[in-house]
Structure 1
């Protein structure tokens, strides 16, 4: 393993994406997000995605010259068009405008359409917490789970994230996929040649499998059975029906270079606590709940581990496996 600084890794990832056809701003925004995920221990949404994004750029599944634009803005609701580029610049614009609108109206809803994979959902909510606001993020993805009772993949794994700022300490961060695990974990397992636990996925014939490649070619199982499937439906509707984005079954898999431009959607809800009971009351209620949770010695606050790993990465760098580092250097022409 080789340790590199976050800045070194971001530069390497940026160069790789620019070389594949991304504009400099898109590449830099994407690289920052992937390095942040790697720093937080989220390898499935970290630097392993550089090769995938680069492949999509080279094959035309992503518009590397896209610049997000505001398509609609009405009071506390807004829609950003990613223009079929990588998702990160468009999501940043949507969240930035949602924070501004929530400061004026008390809450704001921002949608993103014609988008791509948006990485770790909670990453986009960091500016919301820094602004002292509550944030929720939703994203749909190419079909990977059946509707409850169905026999074919229809919904994406459709992550949901939430952030709640605290007056003392890092924010509470909840980030989860609505499949039993994120599909990216199967991608990592397949690359490493390792089996997956039974209960994560089905093969293309609907049989349980411990083979990650068979799971990638088949279907994911929803977390919580029917409840997870219904939540996945909610996310599809929030991210697509409201924004005009493509549903999961209309988007080709992220795990192949060839395919259509996915044109999926994201949605963000930002709430100003000061517009409700007040920031002081919000802070007190948060800390009361945190204290009650921590009264049990084995409870770990959501986001605590990510925060600790990110702090360590800032000072010590990030250890990268030789194979991944070699892949990044080759993509960057280093």
Structure 2
């Protein structure tokens, strides 16, 4: 089993920021990207956490992602904005969208942001949660480079294409549902590869179409969709929602997210925010409370996304346990960049 080290949230934030700054990323953008990665790590999603720093750094070095890009926002209608990520990191572009959507949704009942020329958007549930914590129901669709074959085919065409959802729960933490249409997010396989760990059988096939528990072989092969044909259909749906709808690349057109080689991936994301008070005629709070009560009374049931709350509290209290190989790689990338002066 891979050896691990414990690192505090603050120390991880400083380390990831320093690594990105040392690899052609503006300090404020590096801090924003690091914050998103560390938040994913703290929430128990290491596939979108610190294991991404090396690939992000390689892409910033090569120019595959522009570490100095500044996104821009265009207001198309009262309920629609388009955000141009300018081939930079996704998180600053998503910030523009998430800042604009609440007022638009409250004024129109529903609002949408179409993000193009974007990059890996990390843990989609975190973006939805920001809107739910402001009283809005939210959906996020994001596509990814090809890794899933259409059902019945052998060659990958669609990405793992995450779908995320969040809803406010008065008096309690927001309900967050976050899933990839593959049986597991590809980032988990990448994290296993970097940590030298095997993966469970049933996650992926190797390049010859054989089941594998070797993370490196899985990275070169094909991901298996959830629900077989249904999962592959969902992957295609997300390609429409996150690529065709916003004018970005499809998964089979996008370059990979795990190396510095190739052109910018030009991925897309669609974010939808809904004011549940307006749509329900003021009954949303009572209705969601009834649903949560029913869930609490279902013996053995676990609320989707609930583990993130415990993981965050533990990370804040005890720090995060991260494979030593990953931390050593991030420390090496940070090089001589000062961890005490990141401005």
Q: TM-score range by the shorter chain?
A: over 0.9
Separation (CA, whole Å) in 2 of partners of 1:5 and 1:197 = 29
Separation (CA, whole Å) in 2 of partners of 1:305 and 1:151 = 35
Please say if residues 171 and 303 of structure 1, whose CA atoms lie closer than 8 Å, have aligned partners that are also in contact: no
**Is 1:80 matched up with 2:66?**
no
Match of 1:173 in 2: 176
Separation (CA, whole Å) in 1 of partners of 2:198 and 2:6 = 27
Separation (CA, whole Å) in 2 of partners of 1:29 and 1:260 = 23
**Deviation sequence 1:244-264 (CA, Å, 0-9, x none):** 111101112212221221001
Task: List 4+ stretches of structure 1 deviating above 6 A.
Answer: none
Deviation of 1:241 (Å) = 0.9
**Deviation sequence 1:176-199 (CA, Å, 0-9, x none):** 000011111211222233332222
Separation (CA, whole Å) in 2 of partners of 1:151 and 1:216 = 15
Match of 1:310 in 2: 312
Deviation of 1:133 (Å) = 0.6
Question: Alignment RMSD, CA only?
Answer: 1.5
* Bigger Cα displacement from structure 2, 209-218 vs 229-238: 209-218
Matches within 5 A, 1:117-136: 117-136=120-139
Match of 2:339 in 1: none
Please say if residues 240 and 265 of structure 1, whose CA atoms lie closer than 8 Å, have aligned partners that are also in contact: yes
Separation (CA, whole Å) in 2 of partners of 1:251 and 1:28 = 26
Separation (CA, whole Å) in 1 of partners of 2:261 and 2:28 = 24
Please say if residues 145 and 219 of structure 1, whose CA atoms lie closer than 8 Å, have aligned partners that are also in contact: yes
Separation (CA, whole Å) in 1 of partners of 2:201 and 2:46 = 21
Match of 2:268 in 1: 265
Separation (CA, whole Å) in 2 of partners of 1:322 and 1:200 = 24
For structure 1, the 5+ residue unaligned runs are: none
Match of 1:7 in 2: 10
Match of 2:230 in 1: 227
Number of residue equivalences: 333
TM-score in terms of structure 2 length: 0.93
Matches within 5 A, 1:174-323: 174-279=177-282, 281-323=283-325
For structure 2, the 5+ residue unaligned runs are: 337-343
Deviation of 1:72 (Å) = 4.5
Separation (CA, whole Å) in 2 of partners of 1:315 and 1:67 = 35
